Structure 1
Amino acid sequence: MTGRRRWATEEILDTAAELLRTSDAESFSVRKLAAALGTDSSSLYRHFRTKTELLRAVADRILAAAMDDYRPEGDWKQRLTALALRLREAFGQQPQLASIWGRYASSGAGSRMVMEEVLQALRSSGLPDKEIPARYHRLVVLIAALIAAEAGVGTLSPDEREQGMELFRVAVLGADPEHFPALAHFARDVRPLGADRHAAFEEILAAHLADIEAGLP
């Protein structure tokens, strides 16, 4: 009698990433992953103790792939900007995984490489060592939030996007000046959250790095 196939960890993560392209972390389950692999859940728990551990591993692969051929260039601001844009591009190709990174974090090799580069870049800026951990945390939280927000828009279908635009137009252009005077005043200039996120990403990041620079001794 032929035994059930043993799946390698990388094959499991490949299949999990593929499933997550068309779903999200809430609807994803180890049982669905096992079914896609033609095995049972118990065999997967030999590789990952929990669903959260599995999701962290999937997100870490994105980080590791983004850092694969990364070479730091330029000053500390250029390094951090290049790194953030590189991560945005990596998760932009798999937007469902962006929120997983922000929510579950990671302790794998990819995460360590990102942490090392951010900390080294901040240290080269001239910040005192005692300030770097807090600055690191705020910067990574900002980058993860911006990537997740941008990726969230990327998962919408054209119909969902158009429906959202129509609701936005109704809510903003139809605002009652008596109850919403500022909204009515700026109605024709206010843009929906999904508009021009690429430029917004870079401007917000640049402003944060400028704030760090302003506090340098």
Structure 2
Amino acid sequence: MLSVSGIRTAALALIDRDGLENLSMRRLAQELDVQAASLYSHYRTKEDLLADIANEIMAEVDVSGFDSGDWRHGLTVWARSYRAALAAHPNLVPVIAAGPGRREAALRRADAIHGGLVAAGWPARHATMIGASTKYLVVGAAINSFSRGFDADVQVYRDRYPNLSQAHRLSEHAAEIDDDSFELALSAFLDGLGQTFADLKRAPTAARPGGEGP
């Protein structure tokens, strides 16, 4: 029997295999061996289906770290779990990264992140920018692999690009390099925020930048 969960599972498998651009309700119906009309009794539009899939994937993203009151821990847990969720389904990144819109689960996460940062002492405007900056970092890391962008043929680099003499080895170690690179970027980002936070705390109260939340 056709079910909502079965439709989501089949749609996600199709996207993972063939790409987001190849998902259509007609194609999905063929995968499920049903008529396209059967799908519309569960999902009014393809966009509704994609939003539901995005919600399911993003349920794995952990924002509980902000409960501790430690903004650095909260951002670390959120960023790592967010990247893991996106990396598991890279073809769906454009949908997930588009923003919360009216998706209830996404808005609850955004509320927890913003509220956690403000509760930890960040001005509302900074909390908004930190949320955006973290998203830029994570989505950039998930949408492509730096290491896999290099050719494995040593001849490509040997004569013309002497500073890239080891570039042919990058793809072989792509997962390790990409993971370590993300952790380096995240650590540097958090260290920079730590300095900004300390500067804000030292500033006279009247001079502290404020602002409103999103």
The TM-score bracket by the shorter chain reads 0.7 to 0.9
Q: Aligned ranges for residues 40-79 of structure 1 at < 5 Å?
A: 40-67=35-62, 71-72=64-65, 73=68, 75-79=70-74
How far apart are the structure 2 equivalents of 1:145 and 1:35?
34
- CA shift, 1:205, in A, is 1.6
Give 2:24's aligned residue. Answer: 29
Q: What is the TM-score normalised by the length of structure 2?
A: 0.72
CA spacing shift, 1:29–1:174, aligned 2, 3 Å: farther
Bigger relative contact order, structure 1 or 2 (CA pairs below 8 A, ≥6 apart): 1
How far apart are the structure 2 equivalents of 1:132 and 1:36?
44
- CA shift, 1:138, in A, is 2.2
Which runs of 5 or more structure 1 residues have no equivalent in the other structure?
A: 154-160, 176-182
Give 2:194's aligned residue. Answer: 213
- CA shift, 1:106, in A, is 5.8
Question: In the alignment, is the contact (CA less than 8 A) between 1:59 and 1:106 conserved in 2?
Answer: no
How far apart are the structure 2 equivalents of 1:74 and 1:126?
9
How far apart are the structure 1 equivalents of 2:134 and 2:71?
13
How far apart are the structure 1 equivalents of 2:12 and 2:99?
15
TM-superposition CA deviations, 1:137-190 (whole Å, max 9, x none): 22222212212225x98xxxxxxx6x95325x4443232xxxxxxx53x22355
How far apart are the structure 1 equivalents of 2:95 and 2:155?
32
CA spacing shift, 1:25–1:174, aligned 2, 3 Å: farther
How far apart are the structure 2 equivalents of 1:146 and 1:214?
24
Give 1:180's aligned residue. Answer: none
Whether 1:198 and 2:201 are equivalent positions in the alignment is no
Whether 1:96 and 2:103 are equivalent positions in the alignment is no
Give 2:164's aligned residue. Answer: 187
Identity of aligned residues (%): 22
CA spacing shift, 1:111–1:208, aligned 2, 3 Å: same
RMSD: 3.1
How far apart are the structure 2 equivalents of 1:125 and 1:210?
16
Greater helix share, structure number: 2
Q: What is the TM-score normalised by the length of structure 1?
A: 0.71
